[in-house]
Amino acid sequence: MVVRGVRGAVLLGADDSDEMTDAVIELLTEMMTRNAIANEDLISIVFTATPDLHCAFPAAAARAFGLEEVPLMCAQEIDVTGAPQRVIRILAHVNTERDRHDIVHVYLRGAEVLRQDIAQ
């Protein structure tokens, strides 16, 4: 088994804590499902949020999702002029048997524009 990074991102329609919770849970569910990741495979997760999001910590949604024992960290995304707003990004470190090229990175709710080269 090796450690791999699994990327994901989601766009929010508004700076709203309920929407953030729903979007983060949807994204985590898709990332884990598409990559056959179980909770015990998760090593840690880093979340970033664009500077315009103030409603909640994305990691709080992950705790609500049931990731109580996984180390989680939130950070603010770099504020680049012209970059999409209201974006949550995730980098999950996981134990997996998958080769690097078999990892499925997940971009939802319009976040596909961030990485058209790897968005599924």
115 noted as active-site residue: yes
What lies within 8 Å, CB to CB, of 50 at 6+ separation is 76, 77, 79, 83, 84, 85, 86, 87
Phi, psi (rounded to 5 degrees) for 53: -100, 120
Q: Is 109 annotated in the active site?
A: no
Identified catalytic residue from 40, 77, 109, 112 = 77
> Looking at 4, 7, 68, 98, which residue is catalytic?
7
Q: Which domains does the chain have, with CATH numbers?
A: 2-114 (3.30.1330.40)
Is 89 an annotated catalytic residue? Answer: yes
Tokens 């319009």 belong to 110
74 tagged catalytic:
yes
Q: What does the pLDDT look like over 40-93, one tens digit per residue? A: 999 999 999 999 999 999 999 999 999 999 999 999 999 999 889 999 999 999
What is the value of pTM for the model shown?
0.91
